[in-house]
Amino acid sequence: MKIKDIFKQKTVFSFEVFPPKKTSSIDTVYNTLDELKGLSPDFISVTFSAGGSGNGALSCEIASKIKEGNHVEPMIHLPCINYSKDEISAVLDELDKRGIENILALRGDINPDIEPKRNFEHASDLITFIKSKGDYDIAGACYPEGHVDSESLVEDVLNLKKKVDAGADHLITQLFFDNDAFYRFREKIAIAGINVPVEAGIMPVVNKNQIERMVSMCGASLPAKFVKMMQKYENNPEALRDAGIAYAINQIVDLLADGVDGIHLYTMNNSYVAKKISDAVSGLIGSRKK
Ligand code: FAD
C-alpha cells in the first residue's frame, strides 16, 4: 500500500529503524522488528547508508523482512549524493523485485572521506529520476529549524517547495524538541504553497551521548525545560531514559491536539522505548479520520 493513501484515512503513526552495525548480527534488528510489529505502526522506515556507511543492501533486506515477515508497510530511505544513476536504477530494480513501493528520497549525508558522485545534487533531482522510473510513493525530508546548509529558513522552505513540486507526496521532519518551532514551520510552508502531509519526527532522548551527537549534527534548538531535564538526570541513565520518554509523550500529545498529520518515531532500534510511547499515545491517534 502506498503511504500517501494512509494519510487520507488517519493520523499516521510510524517508526524508523536502522541496520545493525557491521559487528552485530542482523537478528538484533529482526528481534526489534518483531516487537515493533506488535505496536501496529502504519509503516516502518529503514535508513540507508546513513552517514555514508554504505549499508544499502542490508536496508533492502530489512525492508523485505518488514513487509513479508512482519506484514507492516516498509519505507526505504534512499540517499543519492554518493550514487550514480545506474546504481540508483539497480536499487529501484531490487525494490521492484521485493514489492517495495515507498521511498524516502534524500540527498544523503556528506561523508568527508567519500568524493560525492554528483549525478544528483539534491533530493529533488532524485525525485524527478525516481518518478521517471515508475509509480512509487515518494517522501521527502524537511527541517523545521532549517537545514544546516541553508543560509536561512526561508531559503530552505523555497527549496522544499522545489522538492514537493518535483513529486514528494509527503514529508517527514528532522527531529525537534520545540513544538513551537514546528508550528511556525508549518505556517511558513503553507504560505509557500506546500500542502502535502507532514509527519513530525520525534526522537526520545534516552542517553546523553546520543543527544549531544544528534544535536551537534542537525542544530535542533533545546528548550529550557529540556536542558533542565538533561542536567538533572544526566548521571542517572534510568531516570534520564524515563524523563526522555515522558518528554517525547508530552510533545506528541501536544502535536496530536494540534492536528498533526502524523508522528514518525526515531526508535533508535529501542523497542522498549517505542512501546512505552506507543502505549501512552495509541488511544489518542485513533484508527480513522472522520
Ligand atoms: P536536500 O533536499 O537536497 O537539501 C539539502 C540542502 O540543499 C538544503 O540546504 C536545501 O535547502 C538545499 N536544496 C534542496 N534542494 C535544492 C535545489 N533544488 N536547489 C538548491 N538548493 C537546494 N541520510 C542518509 O544518508 N541516510 C538516511 O537513511 C537518512 N535518513 C534521513 C531521514 C530523515 C527523516 C531526515 C530528516 C534525514 C535523513 N538523512 C539520511 C539525512 C539527510 O540525508 C541529510 O539531512 C542531508 O544533509 C540532506 O538531505 P535532503 O534530502 O533533505 O537534501
In contact, 73 and 106? CB cutoff 8 Å: no
In contact, 179 and 251? CB cutoff 8 Å: yes
Q: Which atom of ligand 1 is nearest to the CA of 166?
A: 18
Ligand 1 pocket residue status of 62, Cβ below 6 Å: no
- Say whether 202 sits in a helix, a strand or coil: strand
pLDDT at 207: 84
Ligand 1 pocket residue status of 146, Cβ below 6 Å: no
Q: Which atom of ligand 1 is nearest to the CA of 48?
A: 28
Average pLDDT over residues 70-82: 97
Average pLDDT in the chain: 94
In this predicted structure, the answer to whether residue 101 has a pLDDT above a threshold of 50 is yes
The protein residue with its alpha carbon nearest to ligand 1, atom 20, reads: 159
- Top-confidence residue, 247 or 219: 247
Q: Which atom of ligand 1 is nearest to the CA of 108?
A: 43
- What CA–CA distance (Å, rounded) separates 273 from 244? 9
Helices (H), 192-257: 208-218, 224-233, 237-257
- 226-259 pLDDT, tens digit each: 999 989 999 999 999 999 999 999 999 999 999 9
Q: Which helix (H) or strand (E) holds 15?
A: strand 12-17
Ligand 1 mean position to 160 CA, how many Å?
10
First CA to last CA across the chain, in angstroms? 20
Residues with Cβ within 8 Å of 86's Cβ and at least 6 positions away in sequence, in order, are none
- What CA–CA distance (Å, rounded) separates 266 from 201? 7
- 263-289 pLDDT, tens digit each: 999 999 999 999 999 999 999 997 655
Ligand 1 pocket residue status of 109, Cβ below 6 Å: yes
Ligand 1 mean position to 11 CA, how many Å?
25
The pick from 80, 106, 173 for probing ligand 1's pocket by mutation, whose C-beta has the most ligand atoms within 8 angstroms, reads 106
Cell, residue 134:
515508475
Residue 209 confidence class, pLDDT cut points 50, 70, 90 = confident
Ligand 1 pocket residue status of 159, Cβ below 6 Å: yes
Other residues' Cβ atoms within 10 Å of the Cβ of residue 133? 14
- 146-205 pLDDT, tens digit each: 999 999 999 999 999 999 999 999 999 999 999 999 999 999 999 999 999 999 999 999
- Which of 172, 192, 168, 169 lies closest to 182, judged by CA? 172
pTM for this one? Answer: 0.97
- What CA–CA distance (Å, rounded) separates 19 from 148? 25
